[in-house]
Chain A
Amino acid sequence: MQMKFMVKKACCSGGRAGALELGNCPKPIETPALLLSTRKGLPHFIAPDLLPSLPFPDSHLLQISPLHFLEGLASTTISKIGGLHQMLSLHQYGIAAVARDSIQCLPESKGATKLGPSFETPCGRLSVKPKDYVEMISCMRPNIWATLADEVPAWVSEKRNKTSVDRTVRWLDDCLALNPAAGSVFGAIVGGPNLDERKRCAVEVAKRNVSGYWIGGFGLGERIEERPALLSAIIDVLPDEKPRMISGLGLPEEILEGIDAGIDLFDSTYIYSLTLGGFALTFSLDKGGNQYDFQRCQVERDLTKINLRAKVYRKDMSPILGNCTCYTCQNHTKAYINHLFNVHEMLAQTLLEMEAIKDGRFKKFRMTFIESRRVHQETEAVCV
């Protein structure tokens, strides 16, 4: 199950389109791509028999936190079952393991020691050593896994931030030394809001024998304005031919920024938080594929999503998006979903999560990226 990655098209800005091949996935996954966030391996509200009704490829890459399984399931049992793909019955899906999940498993920098990072999870604070982690990974056998990182918030001291880079690189070496047989290793890159540390970490990780890179330490209090510089400091020193994954970017505009910088894989916690809040994404392309309402500089949150809990949808017998082909839009109205939220029925979230992952939603990012690059080159300064 070796991973293969190919950059198919790159732009001067650093943004790129590519394809990720995983041995068990029937088709290559086009990048930039979104990873479905999961709880214990399954999407939060979508039952596994409904997954095939989701479109390829954005729904074919799942992000999993190995730490979720510490709540009641031994790694050895997962191994006995035959690994994550077998246990979750997701044989044709790509699985990427990252310790942090951005929703319930957050890095707790105060609890980290030189021995390993610490996480705040629903079953308490967990410390994880490289040896334990690699053991879990070997039992779970994901396609891709990120090494452990000492992620710190933006406000820690220079010294603490420096330590986090040292530890993260050392834990990478520890993980590699344990030589796990399973999956492609993505080396973790941290460095907080400090350009030099970000660069130092990326340079060190780029020297190691890894299949790709996982960029952490974002979404932890850094200022949005400093992000582009931080991202390019990292990307500049990474080899072009290997994929780059990031955690902690959420909003569509943040993801567009990441795409511009040359990130290939993103987590989808935004979809989860939208779903919980009762929001549905509603931006759409016209039939000719023109993203008239979606130039990067024009992203207005009010136009891209609606809150289905709102009273105005009580009798609205139209689908969320008229021309949408997802299960939810094909079968249900805003009025019904509004009712499900009102009576606290779980199906509301199921339908909304399916709607949010629907095809095109993320493809639009991709197309917008390619399109806006072209526009960008032609007119120089449309989106500044």
Chain B
Amino acid sequence: TNAMALVFEVLGRFNRARAARLTLPHHVCQTPLFMPVGTQGTIKGLTNSQLEDIGCQIILGNTYHLALRPTSELLDEVGGLHNFMNWQRGLLTDSGGFQMVSLLHLADITEKGVTFQSPVDGKPMLLTPEESIQIQNRIGADIIMALDDVVKTTITGPRVEEAMYRTLRWIDRCIAAHKRPHDQNLFGIVQGGLDPILRDICAKGLVDRNLPGYAIGGLSGGEDKNSFWRVVAQCTAALPEDKPRYVMGVGYPLDIVVCSALGADMYDCVYPTRTARFGTALIPEGVLKLKHKAMAEDTRPIDPTCPCMVCKNYTRAYIHCLVTKDAMGSQLLSYHNLYYMLQLSRNLHSSIVEGRFPEFVCDFLHKMVCSRKSPGP
């Protein structure tokens, strides 16, 4: 059997939902968990001590960006990304492929790998599955992701099938290239678009490879909610009970609650920090737009029920006067939004362990849905 650098222990269940302890080389995590995205080895002005304070367990780093700066060779030389950013807890890196395809215009996928134009000198470059793994081995995260062939869920036809089979062929190249299976966990990614047959073939193929964990990829690309949830439900059912399941690029609080009910464990998304930059706060009722004029005289905290540093100390009026004009505005909003997501993860975990998951979900949905009807900012 393959080497694993993690232990996944289910502590509680409610139907398909589960709460678990995920022991990684650098941190013991509780699932369901949300991973903030720290593209360049930092999360939007927050210090490590702040991230620890709000309960961040795993930070996601983007391989593509890190390989450009400070480069994976430098990271390797200084003892890996953990050492470089002095982050003692978990780290996960993506394969770099998705970022290339989505950020660079001239990316092209062939059997060899992802061909792209170098943003440095414009020359054609190739990222192969082997190379992606080598780079991630040098960065040294607790969890690394296989290079996959991603297609948008809105695309149909033979391309989806091709991408799924290629993803399966590439996983063997990734496994063969992986030099640190005892320190780093390689996750395979289930592809197959919205086609249940393709998803099934892919999931079975990956399970046969006995990987430390599995991701559900290719979602959040503009598909409708019903298709999204159906694919997640199908994949979680097909994946082993004793391995973590990661839904990539998700997301919205509601999606996280639903996916957790369907048996998923891990999530990542730039949404909480990105939306903070535009002056939006996440609250139990949905969102609060701090830029709105009505906020200028609102002396309440962002969320009166939130115990975070920002809500304990500041009024909507003050944040209104900071947002979008001052760096501190998005820093404070990012802090609150990440707190909200991490608190949501903790609540999911404890409600499952304590056997009150249905009540928690009802309460969550009730607040979110009722507020949709009420007007206001």
Contacts and interface: CB of A to CB of B under 8 A. Distances in A.
Nearest to B328: A42
Nearest to B323: A72
Given A71-B321, A336-B86, A89 B47 contact: no
B332 A339 contact: no
Dominant secondary structure of chain B at its interface with chain A: helix
Interface in B311-331: 312-315, 317-318, 320-322, 325-328, 331
Interface in A327-370: 327, 331-333, 335-336, 339-340, 342-343, 345-347, 349-351
Interface string A115-142: 0000000100000000000000000000
Given A47-B50, A74-B297, A339 B317 contact: no
A315 B77 contact: yes
Contacts of B309: 47-49
Contacts of B86: 331-333, 336
A315 B328 contact: no
A314 interface: yes
Interface string A303-318: 0000000000011010
A77 B297 contact: yes
A315 B318 contact: no
A73 B44 contact: no
A69 B318 CA distance: 9
Given A327-B49, A336-B86, A351-B47, A73 B318 contact: yes
A49 B46 CA distance: 11
Contact of B327 (A44, A327, A336): A44
Nearest to A90: B313
A39 B328 contact: yes
Nearest to A46: B328
B78 A71 contact: no
B327 A77 contact: no
Given A44-B328, A335-B70, A339-B70, A89 B313 contact: yes
Given A71-B325, A122-B325, A47 B332 contact: yes
B318 A81 contact: yes
Contact of B74 (A42, A47, A314): A314
B89 to A, nearest CB: 14
A294 interface: no
Contact of A50 (B47, B74, B321, B325): B47
Contacts of A340: 40-42
B165 interface: no
Given A71-B325, A339-B70, A347 B297 contact: no
Contact of B328 (A40, A317, A336): A40
Contacts of A331: 47-49, 86
B40 to A, nearest CB: 4
B84 A335 contact: yes
Given A44-B327, A47-B328, A80 B299 contact: yes
30 contacts: A40-B322, A40-B326, A40-B328, A44-B327, A45-B327, A47-B309, A47-B335, A48-B309, A49-B53, A49-B309, A72-B296, A72-B325, A73-B318, A73-B320, A80-B299, A314-B70, A314-B74, A331-B48, A332-B85, A333-B86, A335-B70, A339-B40, A342-B69, A342-B70, A343-B40, A343-B41, A345-B42, A347-B44, A347-B45, A347-B46
Given A47-B46, A81-B318, A335-B70, 5 more contacts: A71-B325, A87-B315, A336-B85, A342-B69, A346-B327
Top 5 nearest A-B pairs by Cβ distance?
Answer: A89-B313, A346-B45, A73-B321, A72-B321, A343-B40
Interface of A: 39-40, 42, 44-45, 47-50, 53, 69, 71-74, 77, 80-81, 87-89, 122, 314-315, 317, 327, 331-333, 335-336, 339-340, 342-343, 345-347, 349-351
Interface of B: 40-42, 44-50, 53, 65, 69-70, 74, 77-78, 83-86, 296-297, 299, 309, 312-315, 317-318, 320-322, 325-328, 331-332, 335
